[in-house]
Copies of this chain bind each other. A is one copy, B any other.
């Protein structure tokens, strides 16, 4: 089919939507390293994880050989409310850049959670419901994941307890209200709800909280309350599995028009979007069926791939979770306060880390003012106001398209547009007012953080 025939937006029919998630690990020769028990340093088994996670999700977490998992019908029905997400041909951006490159983006923002997070939230809520649980707990920073989980729990009639970092709870009340609209209880963290929360409040009475502390509270609440489990929106293998729906839809839409991408670009915090977007493409690469350049984009202020260590580390600041082998900045690393672009997790999905270590993908770190410049440029020509997270991918997509302009190459670029920036206008305001600064951690700062990595011998 000729390029002229490709519409601005490719929507799959309901019948073309994926019926199974793709488990990338099944095609990996070097499997991602297992989660370890923080006390014994032995691989965690299903039994040990059962107090924290839902049984079915643990199976998915530990299974690195089954290539496909059927998507249960209830989840597919929910997906039909907001999926398929459009694969958009960025005609206007191409025209604006005067590039011979062909640019596509998979837009995951057309739902109330405002991002791709809903893809895994609904799956995790479903399995919790199937297990007969009463509810789930989680933590949230700015609230994107918490919103997605609230929506999912509301749909299945599950209770949803969200620990929201106190400073966000107070200063970013809008997503909190979205969560309340969906019936979630939102507690500012640290709280007096949990032992760990009370301890922190005692030691630091004026603290405004941290993601690490909120995780610890959510885990404690789940493990100490009958009928509850803890759920997480990124990093884990199960999350990447659910998010593969992004890549499967993307590939199906491209295949429909006979388009083969040269470059696939995704932003990366914990890896939930990137891992999902690239899944089927990486699968082809692993099986030797096709080759693609795959680029992870991360903030220069939180550069786990590009400047982190590939090592076992804690997944949380409170050091209560299992150890994961990943590219990490150290579990105590916190990006500078002026960092506004999201993607602030200290580590990276074990699966993606292994692929990166094996040279199967590239990574690059970008400074935040350049990210917001790309965001604004994109918004003006493509009409969508992107989340700062998503704008990391836009930045590199534009850079690659401009490189094509220099060389005259007609490359096909696909990037993930994970969500919308409606709740990030404070960051945009900073950018408009010229008050946004770039921050790059020094080698000394990183080394000090690496020094606190767990000793593994």
Contacts and interface: CB of A to CB of B under 8 A. Distances in A.
Interface string A176-199: 011011110000000000000000
A383 B82 contact: yes
Contacts of A91: 77
Q: How large is the interface on A (under 10, 10 to 19, 20 to 34, 35 or more residues)?
A: 35 or more
B429 A182 contact: no
Given A80-B7, A428-B181, A429-B173, A151 B112 contact: no
Nearest to A112: B385
Contacts of A182: 379-380
Contacts of A423: 422
Contacts of A412: none
Contacts of A174: 422, 425
Contact of A112 (B9, B80, B383): B383
A256 to B, nearest CB: 13
Nearest to A380: B154
A68 interface: no
Contacts of A88: 81
Contacts of A112: 379, 383-385, 420, 422
Interface in A376-401: 376, 379-385
A127 interface: no
A379 B11 contact: no
B80 A8 contact: yes
Contact of A8 (B14, B114, B420): B14
A11 B83 CA distance: 12
Given A14-B8, A155-B381, A432 B181 contact: yes
A111 interface: yes
A286 interface: no
A364 interface: no
Residue from A81, A376, A384 with most neighbouring chain B CB atoms (10 Å): A81
Interface string A67-105: 000000000011011100000100110000000000000
A208 interface: no
A91 to B, nearest CB: 8
Nearest to A382: B81
A251 to B, nearest CB: 20
A376 B181 contact: yes
A449 interface: no
A111 B422 CA distance: 11
Contacts of A155: 92, 380-381, 383
A110 interface: yes
A71 to B, nearest CB: 15
A182 B380 CA distance: 6
Interface string A1-19: 0000001110101100000
A380 B8 contact: no
A377 to B, nearest CB: 10
Contacts of A420: 112
Contacts of A82: 383
A188 to B, nearest CB: 15
A384 B151 CA distance: 9
B180 A432 contact: yes
Interface in A420-446: 420, 422-423, 425-426, 428-429, 432
15 contacts: A8-B14, A81-B88, A81-B383, A110-B110, A112-B379, A112-B383, A112-B420, A112-B422, A173-B429, A177-B425, A178-B428, A180-B432, A181-B376, A181-B380, A422-B422
